[in-house]
Amino acid sequence: MENSNVKHLYDKVNIVIPVGSPSFSKSISIKKGKCVGVKLIHISSAQAVNQNLNLGVSDGNNPLVNATDFRDFIQLGGGYKDGFKPCNFDSSLEVSVDAIAESNIAGADFKAQLIFMIEEECNAINN
């Protein structure tokens, strides 16, 4: 059963790996709360990635979401919330989003958006 004292906020980072480059890295501050899920929306054409491309989220030193192939972050079924890859970390800190391909991207830029689902406790007075 879902906790009615929690609201879901969303934050995002746009990921672009240009042709000829093998990686993307960006540090961002996301909304405060507890990040409970991440999901990737792959925007570029299929020809942009015909290789493994690992995507991960860290606090700079420690993995918050272990790096796996980007396809592991894409919703394949279920409801909206079920489509998020589960995670559980305090989002009041700066996070680093890293994407690394096994070789330089060829054919077309890799473009995607990583969405963070953040739970924020609601103050009973504000409900």
CA distance 61 to 31: 20
Confidence at 124, pLDDT banded by 50, 70, 90: very low
- On the question of pLDDT at 6 being above 70, the answer is yes
In the chain, where are the structural domains located? Answer: 19-115
CA distance 68 to 81: 20
Question: Looking at residue 127, what is its pLDDT?
Answer: 44
Exposure string over 74-98, b if 16+ CB within 10 A, otherwise e: eeeeeeeeebbbebebebeeebbbb
Contact criterion met (CB below 8 Å) for 39 and 84: yes
Kindly tell me the number of DSSP H helices and DSSP E strands found in the chain. 0, 8
Q: 99-118 pLDDT, tens per residue?
A: 999 999 988 899 999 999 99
**CATH top class, domain 19-115:** mainly beta
Does residue 124 or residue 67 have the better pLDDT?
67
pTM of the model: 0.87
What is the C-alpha R_g of the chain? 16
Q: Percent of the chain at pLDDT above 90?
A: 64
Q: 9-59 pLDDT, tens per residue?
A: 999 999 999 999 999 999 999 999 999 999 999 898 666 667 889 999 999
